[in-house]
Amino acid sequence: MKKDTVVLYPAPGMGHIISMVELGKLILRHSPPNSITISILITTGPYETPAITSYITRISHTYPRSITFHRFPHLSVDTDDCSRSRAAIQFDIIRLNTLHHFSHSLHHIAQTDHHIRALVIDFFCTSAFPIAAQLRIPTYYFYTSGASALAAFFYLPKIGEQVDKSFKDLASTYLHFPGLPKLLASHLPEPVLDRNDPAYGDFIYFCSHLSKADGVIVNTFEDLEPIPVRAIADGCCVVEAPTPPVYYIGPIILDSIDEEVEKKHECLVWLDEQPNGSVLFLCFGSRGSFSEAQVREIAIGLERSEQRFLWVVRAPPRNTNLKQVSEYEEKDFDLNKVLPDGFVERTKGRGLVVKEWAPQVEVLNHKAVGGFVSHCGWNSTLEALVAGVPMIAWPLYAEQHLNRAALVEDMKMAIGVEMEEDEFVSGSELERRVRELMASEKGREMRERSIEMRERALKAWEEQGSTTFLPKADK
């Protein structure tokens, strides 16, 4: 008798793969023992890294019978085409992987005594949708951000019809999405800013297919985002079509990409020596990065704030117009060259600067940490909320401006930094926001709300909470 399997198709890149693996673990935990397996498709090309290979090997050893990875054959793609945006190239890579290898992989899985019960795809893997529909496989999206961004993406095709200019040319224009605070047009994700970029058409195509799925699985919980959850449920976000079932299964906190090590990280040892709730943690995700000028300005703000801090600094991006580094770029750099002269010595004792990486979940849950300066990536946002740590919101790319608006204006869980026209943040602005969060009545009230939301997040997992689990895919 064939065993049921759920096929997961993540977009390339470590963060996307880890998110899908965590979803797979959740499915296994809430299914009868030995009743189902997880099959994960892995795209190939320029996104392959030793870290991804190591992570897949670790998961395969930990779940040898229940989680199986299926790597597509290697695909050579030209990534040096200067005439196309980085997003357009990335979307093409996923589309080519899908066209060449997706159907064959599904056929192979079906031939190995498995019945494909459902397919779960990443938002960026929408090119698999028509193929799965032709094969009559129930297809779900796993949307790894929150309900606010999902509401915006449901409605984005309609917004696109209402304007005849590129969003980048409507910089000072506010857009209105159901269930969201107003948003500057220039704060939409980069792939949709230019109508002449092929990535724009791809992104709208992705958004328009969300409503065609058998369901959308979202890493959030209803108490965290009641306004967009209600807007979606009321049918305000999907225009001229039924809203698909939406399943709120969060908060899912991602596993570390690194294997556990016996030695305690230096930053945790340092935190052990700091007073409770006194340290501001600054970290901008696995790819968030700044120009050397912005790094120096952050240092100035931290020094003038006179607050304790733990700061993760990443290598400045090669392209100074970007706010992110590729996970495939060389990460080594001289920390002393990007920080102001004497900064480390002057802040010694109350501040610690760490290169490239820190164990974020452990840091956020340390009793010494009382605030978090974040890029508003959704995984980092959930990690802070579950730890009960309030935030300073500093969005950089992707849907992070949408998350920032929800955190600051709806949830009241974060203080937003004010950016200059080129999105530069001055040292004096950072100093002001740091003091506001760490040493004011407003910050204390925000900390209380964060602790309350932490309790709601934990309750979401209890029987009476709002978290629902994956639907039965049988038709």
Which pTM does this prediction carry? 0.94
Same domain, 49 and 137: yes
Say if CB 46 and CB 15 are below 8 A apart: no
- In sequence order, the β-bridge partners of residue 69 are 40
| β-pairing verdict for 279-282 and 308-313 | parallel
- Range name among 25-29, 96-100, 115-119, 323-327 with the lowest pLDDT average: 323-327
Position 40 in a domain: yes
Q: And the tokens for 136? A: 């009559």
Residue 350 carries which side chain, given as an amino acid letter?
R
pLDDT of residue 75: 83
Amino acid at 300: I
CA diameter of the chain = 69
- Sorting pLDDT into bands at 50, 70 and 90, what band is 475? very low
Domain assignment present for residue 57? The answer is yes
Domain with residue 437: its CATH number is 3.40.50.2000
Find the mean pLDDT for residues 7-11: 97
Q: Do 374 and 432 fall into the same domain?
A: yes
- Residues 85 and 234 placed together within one structural domain of the fold: yes
Q: What is the pLDDT of residue 183?
A: 96
- At 1 the pLDDT is 72
Tell whether the model's pLDDT for residue 467 goes beyond 60: no
Q: Same domain for 45 and 106? A: yes
* Exposure string for 93-132, b = 16+ CB within 10 A, e = fewer: bbbbbbeebbeebbeebbeeebebbbbbbbbbbbbbbebb
Do 240 and 303 lie in a common domain?
no
Nearest-angstrom CA–CA distance, 356 and 362? 16
Residues 237 and 270 grouped into a single domain? no
**Mind listing the pLDDT tens digit for each residue in 306-362?**
999 999 999 888 766 666 665 555 567 888 889 999 999 999 999 999 998 999 999
Last residue of a domain, one of 248, 283, 318: 248
CB 1 within 8 A of CB 34: no
Q: Is residue 471 part of a domain?
A: no
Going by C-beta distance under 8 Å and a sequence separation of 6 or more, which residues neighbour residue 374?
283, 284, 285, 380, 381, 384, 391, 392, 393, 394, 414
Query: Domain check: are 154 and 281 in the same one?
Result: no
Q: What is the pLDDT of residues 118-168, one digit of tens each?
A: 999 999 999 999 999 999 999 999 999 999 999 999 999 999 999 999 999
Residues 399 and 435 reside in one and the same domain: yes
Asked whether residue 300 falls in the same domain as residue 427, the answer is yes
For the chain, the domain total comes to 2
Residue 473 has pLDDT above 60, yes or no: no
Q: Is 152 part of a structural domain of the chain?
A: yes
> Are the C-beta atoms of 9 and 122 separated by less than 8 Å?
yes
As a whole-number percent, the residues of the chain with pLDDT over 70 amount to 92
| Per-residue model confidence as pLDDT tens digits over 419-437 | 998 899 999 999 999 999 9
Whether residue 332 is found in the same domain as residue 453? yes
Q: Within a domain: residue 231?
A: yes
pLDDT at position 138 is: 95
* Structure confidence at residue 465 as a pLDDT band (50, 70, 90): very low
Q: Is the pLDDT of residue 82 over 90?
A: no
The pLDDT of residue 121 = 98
Range of the domain at 450: 266-459
Same domain, 203 and 284: no
- Is 316 found in the same domain as 242? no
Q: Strand 391-393 vs strand 369-374: parallel, antiparallel, or unpaired? A: parallel
